[in-house]
Amino acid sequence: MVGFTVTTHSPEQTRRLGQVIGGLARGNDLYLLKGNLGTGKTHLVQGIAFGLGIDEYACSPSFMIAREYHGRLPLYHLDLYRLDHIEEIAGLGLDEYFRDDSVCAIEWAEKGAPVLPGDNLTIRLTHLPGEKRNISFIPHGNRYDELVDRLKISLQNNGEDTWNLL
Ligand SMILES: Nc1ncnc2c1ncn2[C@@H]1O[C@H](COP(=O)(O)OP(=O)(O)OP(=O)(O)O)[C@@H](O)[C@H]1O
Ligand SMILES: [Mg+2]
C-alpha cells in the first residue's frame, strides 16, 4: 500500500484530476472521499463523471444521498454528510451501489467507515492556503494499488506541469 499526494491549485485543476481518474475507472471501483467541508470532494467527483464520459453536470447531492449518472460506466455518487448515525447508513442498502458494472464514489465516507468495504481507494482532501488543496490517494487492495500506480503515471505523462506529486 503506497499512496501519493497531489496538490491542486484551483477548482478546475481538481476537476481535471478527477477526469484522469474517471478515464482509468473500472466496474466495481469504489472511491471513498474524506475531508472537511469545501475541500473539493464534489469537484473531484464531477471530474470523475466527465472522465467517464458523463456530460450532465454533477451538481452536489447535498440533500440527496445518492445520484446515478450514465456514461461509459454508470456512476453512483453518494454523500453521507447528512447522516449522523451509523444505523442510518447501514440501512441504506449500500450493496446496491457496489456493482461489477458500475463505479461508486462516496463523499463523507468517514461517517460510514464501519459498514463500507475494506477494498477501496481512499481519497483524502485537505485545505492549504488560498485555492490549494492536498489530495492524497491511499489504495486498499490489489485493484487500487494498480489504479494508484496508473494514476501516478498518467499524471506524470499528461503534460500538466503544476501537479505537485509527492
Ligand atoms: N483547488 C481546489 N479544488 C477544489 N475546490 C476548490 C479549490 N480551490 C478552491 N476551491 C473551492 O472550494 C469549494 C469546494 O467545493 P466542493 O463542493 O467541491 O467541496 P466539498 O468537499 O464537496 O464540500 P462538502 O463537504 O460541503 O460536500 C468550491 O467553492 C471551490 O470553488
Ligand atoms: Mg460535496
- Cβ of 10 closer than 6 Å to ligand 1, yes or no, is yes
Q: Which atom of ligand 1 is nearest to the CA of 133?
A: 1
Q: What pTM was estimated for this model as a whole?
A: 0.95
Task: Using the mean position of ligand 1's atoms as its centre, give its distance from the Cα of residue 151 in Å.
Answer: 21
Instruction: Please tell me the residue having the least CA distance from ligand 1 atom 28.
Output: 38
**pLDDT per position as a tens digit, 73-109:** 999 999 999 999 999 999 999 999 999 999 999 999 9
User: Can you tell me the distance from the alpha carbon of 57 to that of 137, in angstroms, rounded to the nearest whole number?
Assistant: 24
If you ran DSSP here, which 8-state letter would residue 134 be given? E
Instruction: Please tell me the residue having the least CA distance from ligand 1 atom 7.
Output: 11
- Cβ of 7 closer than 6 Å to ligand 1, yes or no, is no
- Cβ of 39 closer than 6 Å to ligand 1, yes or no, is yes
Question: What number of helices (H) and strands (E) belong to the chain?
Answer: 4, 7
**pLDDT per position as a tens digit, 107-129:** 999 999 999 999 999 999 999 99
Instruction: Please tell me the residue having the least CA distance from ligand 1 atom 25.
Output: 37
The grid coordinates of residue 101 equal: 458494472
**SS3 category, 76:** strand
Q: Which atom of ligand 1 is nearest to the CA of 79?
A: 27
Q: Which atom of ligand 1 is nearest to the CA of 33?
A: 21
The grid coordinates of residue 33 equal: 472521499
Beta-strand pair 133-140/103-107: unpaired
Domains in the chain and their CATH numbers? 8-155 (3.40.50.300)
Single-letter amino acid code for the residue at 67: R
Q: Is the pLDDT score of 21 beyond 80?
A: yes
Adjacency order of strands within the sheet including 120-127: 4-8, 133-140, 120-127, 30-34, 103-107, 74-79, 66-70
Write the DSSP string, 42-59: HHHHHHHHHHTT--S---
Q: Is the pLDDT score of 23 beyond 70?
A: yes
Write the burial class of residue 5 (CB in 10 Å: 0-12 exposed, 13-18 middle, 19+ buried): middle
- Which CA distances in Å does 52 have to 71, 137, 165? 5, 19, 23
